[in-house]
């Protein structure tokens, strides 16, 4: 026959396992909540392609950039950022690496000063990506951009994906690959 002491001993042996299971369930629940909320906020804040987007732009050096033509060859990433954006200081090196790996990338620097100021910023940070100087923020406003950094993947002149926030290099490469496959 089991005594009260034996029953308490059995309960205490189960508790660590139950605690770990409970902790794992809680972590999984919070992770799921984070993913759902993050996805909803990202969807709400993503840029929206204008009905008649201006896809022929001029970079800060005066060179014509034809986003429609680029995106017909390969899916193209358009990165909206600003020299004043603190989060962009973390994401721009990733974009530079993506461009250095020969992925088609065009960036739009929003309200980041004159062409000379933008050039100095790019040189100072050793960024080699193509940059459009959106001095007044008109291009970003056309895309109904709400936050920087924002990203758009174009394929055949059409937006296939829009996202915001910090994106790791692997995620951007995966999105460009998916756009090329589907």
Please report whether residue 28 resides in a domain: no
Q: Which of 18-22, 42-46, 79-83, 111-115 has the lowest mean pLDDT?
A: 42-46
52 phi and psi, to 5 degrees?
-125, 75
* Total number of domains in the chain: 1
Q: With respect to residue 78, please indicate whether it lies within any of the assigned structural domains.
A: yes
- Supply the pLDDT for residue 16: 81
Query: If you average pLDDT over every residue of the chain, what do you get?
Result: 92
Is residue 107, in this structure, part of any structural domain at all? yes
Round to whole Å and give the CA distance between 18 and 22.
Answer: 6
Is 34 among the domain residues?
A: no
Which range is least confidently modeled, 38-42, 46-50, 88-92, 112-116? 38-42
> 15 in a domain, yes or no?
no
Mean pLDDT calculated for residue range 89-106? 98
The answer to whether residue 171 sits within a structural domain is yes
pLDDT tens-digit series, residues 29-50: 999 998 898 778 878 888 999 9
User: Do 65 and 58 contact (CB within 8 A), yes or no?
Assistant: yes
CATH of the domain at 117: 3.40.30.10
Residue 24 resides in a domain: no
Greatest alpha-carbon pair distance for the chain in Å reads 91
User: What is the extent of the structural domain holding 72?
Assistant: 56-181
Mean local confidence (pLDDT), 136-164: 96
Q: Is there a domain that residue 87 lies in?
A: yes
Share of the chain above pLDDT 70, in %: 92
Query: Is pLDDT above 80 for 10?
Result: no
Residue 98: partners with Cβ closer than 8 Å, 6 or more residues away: 77, 105, 169, 172, 173
pLDDT value of residue 31: 92
Q: With beta carbons less than 8 A apart as the criterion, state whether 113 and 80 touch.
A: no
């Amino acid at each position: 026959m089991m005594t009260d002491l034996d029953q308490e001993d059995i309960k205490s042996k189960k508790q660590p396992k139950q605690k770990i299971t409970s902790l794992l369930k809680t972590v999984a629940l919070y992770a799921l909540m984070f993913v759902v909320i993050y996805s909803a906020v990202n969807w709400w804040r993503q840029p929206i392609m204008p009905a008649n987007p201006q896809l022929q732009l001029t970079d800060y050096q005066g060179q014509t950039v034809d986003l429609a033509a680029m995106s017909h060859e390969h899916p193209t990433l358009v990165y909206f950022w600003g020299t004043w954006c603190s989060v962009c200081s973390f994401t721009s090196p990733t974009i530079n690496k993506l461009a250095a790996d020969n992925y088609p990338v065009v960036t739009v620097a929003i309200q980041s000063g004159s062409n000379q100021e933008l050039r100095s910023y790019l040189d100072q940070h050793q960024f080699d990506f193509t940059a459009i100087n959106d001095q007044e923020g008109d291009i970003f406003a056309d895309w109904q951009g709400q936050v920087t950094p924002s990203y758009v993947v174009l394929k055949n002149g059409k937006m296939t994906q829009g996202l915001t926030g910090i994106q790791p290099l692997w995620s951007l490469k995966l999105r460009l690959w998916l756009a090329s496959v589907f």
